[in-house]
Amino acid sequence: MAKKQLIMEKALELFAKQGFEATSVQQITEYCGISKGAFYLAFKSKDELILALLDHFMEQYIADIDYTVKNSKNESLLYSFYYTAFHSLHEHSNFAKLLIKEQAQTFNGELLIKMQYYDQLLEKLILSLIERIFGDALTKYDLIYSIRGLMNVYTGLLIFHNIPFELDVLARSLSEKTKILAEHSTIPFITKEVSMFIKQHPIKKEVSKEEILDAIEQKIKELEESLEKESLLLLKEEIINPSYHSAIVAGLLENIQNHPHCKWVAYLLRKYFATEKE
């Protein structure tokens, strides 16, 4: 296991027990069995480690939902969306619980800005889902926040209360509620203009070609020889010197999609190649 990955996994265990503030770098290094020097070679500070954990969790979460939205049929799209979102939260419930608690207490501006960035990405995905299923619905902007509200409330119920986690039932129940809202709501509160005002100051610009190449290079360094590493090398070459048929590119993206440390790169690459086609 790479040193950086080891630190992240062990630190998360400590953070889950003690919280961000109560956990020191000294405790993390002792728990990992490494020196402080080794820690600071991987992360400049504890705050940088916390942000790396947030990125790792949210990147997988957004990437999984994006993949589902793009690859599900319209008739099952709502169900697949909710199923994927809550399955990902369940897999990372320790960090999700920690994050919800810490957000209510933290004064870390960078952490809050990062969360706003990922919130914006999620809302864009939800809007694309709504438009695919319900078209240009009169209340589509209200639906974005209705869906977010349902997700937030049920996430809290599942994480902080001893409720049986029946994922299939939950996904079907929330799909039904969403359809009722979409098909019977007639009075919009959030208009397009209000939505544009809310998002008029984007948290982060679109990722550049150079940043995508840097992200690929970083993952190539981290991975051992594998199908995923070989696929990343070929995808990097495709960005630099395009020559593959779209079906080959799609196959290479499938090769890296399910690796936990490649999901975000797969997400960035899907967006990049879709833009290049336009």
3-state secondary structure (DSSP) of residue 35: coil
Residue 201 has a CB neighbour count (10 Å cut-off) of 7
Element (H, E) at 139: none
Q: State residue 235's pLDDT score.
A: 92
137-151 pLDDT per residue, tens: 888 999 999 999 999
pLDDT digits (tens, 9 = 90+) for 28-83: 999 888 888 888 988 898 888 888 888 888 888 999 999 998 888 888 999 999 99
- Predicted confidence at residue 218, as pLDDT, reads 86
Q: How far, in Å, CA of 98 to CA of 12, rounded?
A: 9
In this model, does residue 1 exceed pLDDT 60? no
Q: Is the overall model pTM greater than 0.85, yes or no? A: no
Give the range with max mean pLDDT: 93-97, 122-126, 194-198, 258-262: 122-126
Q: Summarize the confidence of residues 115-119 as an average pLDDT.
A: 85
d(CA 88, CA 81): 11
The first and second tokens of residue 62, run together, are 């957004």
The model's pLDDT over 178-224, given as tens digits with 9 standing for 90+, comes to 999 999 988 988 877 666 655 555 555 577 888 899 989 988 888 88
